[in-house]
Every structure is written in C-alpha cells, then in structure tokens.
Amino acid sequence: MKVCVLGAGAWGTSLAIHLARNTSVTLWARDASHLSGMKKSRSNPKYLGDFKFPDLLSLNDNFKDAVLNCDFILSAIPTAGFRNVLKNLKNIGSDSPILWANKGLEVSSAKLPFEVINDEFPSSKNDFRSWGVLSGPSFAAELIRGLPTAVTIATNDGEFSKKIAPLFHHNNMRSYISSDIAGVCVGGALKNVIAIAAGISDGMGFGNNARAALITRGLSEIKRFGLKIGSKPETFTGLSGMGDLVLTCTGEYSRNREVGLRLAKGESLKSILDGLGHVAEGVYTAKEVSKRASLHNIDMPITHEINNVLFQEKPAKEAVLDLIQRPITQE
C-alpha cells in the first residue's frame, strides 16, 4: 500500500517516517525550499532535527502528483488549512480514503474536521468515501525517538480501519480502532484549550492540586461538549480523551501548555505565537469552542475564561481566581 502524507511539520514528518519503516510513503510539503532542504539532508532539521528518512520515504511538492499516486491520504495539515486540502482533492478528482491527524476547530465556522469533511464530501451526493481521524497522546519528538506511543484510529468504515491500522501498529507504536469519529475529534481539539489553562496555572505557581483540578474539570467540559454533538461517553476515558488531555497538560513538549506558561509571565499573545515556531491549535480553538458552547448553552467555564485571557485581555491570574470562586455546584 502506498501512502501520501500531507504536511511536513513535526507531526506529519514523524508519522511519515514511522509508516515508511514498512510502507511506501510520499511526504508532500507546500514550501519548495523546505522540501529542497529535506531532500539534501534526508531529514527535517527545521522541525525534527537530524533523524534520517527511511529509504521508502520520498518527497514531493506537486500536490496532484502526490495524491493521485497513493492508496490513502494522511493529512497532517493544520485545521486552518484542512478545508482547502479537501477542495483541492475534489478539484483534481482524487477519490482516495482520507485519514487526518489535525486537532482543532475551524476558525469562523467553529466546525470540527469531521464536520468540515462532511461539508465538502456530503454522502447525500453519493460521494461516499472512507475517512477517519488519528489521535491520542502523542508527541512527535517521542514517536521519532522510538519511544512507546499509542493512538486511536476512528473511521466511518470498519474495513478501512482494519486495512490501515496495521500500517501504524509496529515498532514503538500501538493502534486501537474506533467508530466514534466525533468523540475522537472533540477530545483531540478541546484538550488543547485545557492545556493552556494548565500552563497558566503552572506558570503562576499554583501547584499540583490546581493542575489536577483543571485536568479533571476540563475533562468534564470536553465530555459535555462531545455528548452534545453525539459522541460516545466512553471515548473520553480513552486515549483520545483522558490520555491526550493528561499528556498535553503536563508534557514538556506541549505547545499549548507553553502558551499558558508564557501568558502567566505576562507575554503578549502575539509575541508568544510569533516565537513559537509551531501551530498551537488551542489558541483559536478556544474562541471557536467558547462561541459554539454559548450558542448551545453548554457549561464550559474553563474554556470561556481562557478565551477571555486570549482575546479579551483578561489577566491570567484573575481568570484562574474567578474559576476558583465560582458558586458551589454538583460534580
């Protein structure tokens, strides 16, 4: 089976390298100069240091050529560019199955990736194709170093799951399969917002108790949101729910936690994002989730406070203290 991986950031490249240990992979990058540098070094020094590409991994900056010569597509493009990728696939007539690994909500529409793909490939037009999401507690820096990693693959087609899950399930990676695409998308997206809150709390020196409370209550918010859109409750105790949330709120490689840490130091959001070097999906996800939660009367106090800090210039310390001082409620 031939795989096309779209997006040569840290996560896309690490997945491409992992797959290419056993499978023929084409890694597509939009930036021709970035791709040229990778060809020369047979690595991705911009995002992953000098980890060498396997022989089965090739590089291509021609989108049409890359996607029309594969059996399935793995998209690691940030959520902001996901719809454009789908439109481009339609324009060139690609009918390959799609798996995505991005985690977030689309800016302005507040839609999750599975809702975006339903927009672009509506089943009512008899354009059924297999698709799904790969998510879970997974830092690219650890996967690429050969450290144990487990992920969930949720698809709309059980046969597709059985076909692609073994491609990931080798060496240091273990894969599980699911049919709850909505729940896996919600867990992967919303945990980034809670990670910003955890970073703020840690940056303020509020300690382990506060972080544990934020993770626990944050999971309740994620689950409430997920159930509202039809997710299965058990998904949120799994890898793409609790697993990914704990990792992102505590791990040293978490970009979203780093945003929170730097906000706690008083840095401006613009300065943080300019210096980060990677996409922190939780920043714009906070705004979109807060908007959608308000529209559907979903109680999400942590998410609303993080949105206030990011976009309403509310002091981070004040936001955390306001959360603590909320009225007593039933757990």
| pLDDT at site 324 | 84
What pLDDT is recorded for position 108?
A: 86
Catalytic residue among 103, 191, 223, 287: 191
Position 321 scores a pLDDT of 84
Query: DSSP strand E in the chain: where?
Result: 2-6, 24-28, 57-60, 72-75, 98-100, 131-135, 149-155, 173-178
Q: Which residue numbers in the chain have pLDDT < 50?
A: none
pLDDT (0 to 100) of residue 277: 73
Q: Which amino acid is at 107?
A: V
* DSSP character string of 170-214: STTEEEEEES-HHHHHHHHHHHHHHHHHHHHHHHTT-HHHHHHHH
The pLDDT tens digits of the residues spanning 2-43 come to: 999 999 999 999 999 999 999 999 999 999 899 999 999 999
**Helix, strand or coil for residue 128?**
coil
Supply the pLDDT for residue 123: 72
Q: State the average pLDDT for the chain.
A: 94
Domains of the chain: 2-179 (3.40.50.720), 183-324 (1.10.1040.10)
Res 125: pLDDT: 58
DSSP state of 53: P
pTM of structure = 0.94
d(CA 240, CA 279): 19
Nearest to 259 by CA among 276, 247, 245, 246: 276
Q: What is the pLDDT of residue 90?
A: 93
Residue 191 annotated in active site:
yes
Is the sign of the CA dihedral 244, 247, 248, 254 positive or negative? negative
3 state SS of 47:
helix
For residue range 47-98, what is the model confidence (pLDDT) as tens digits? Answer: 999 999 999 999 999 999 999 999 999 999 999 999 999 999 999 999 999 9
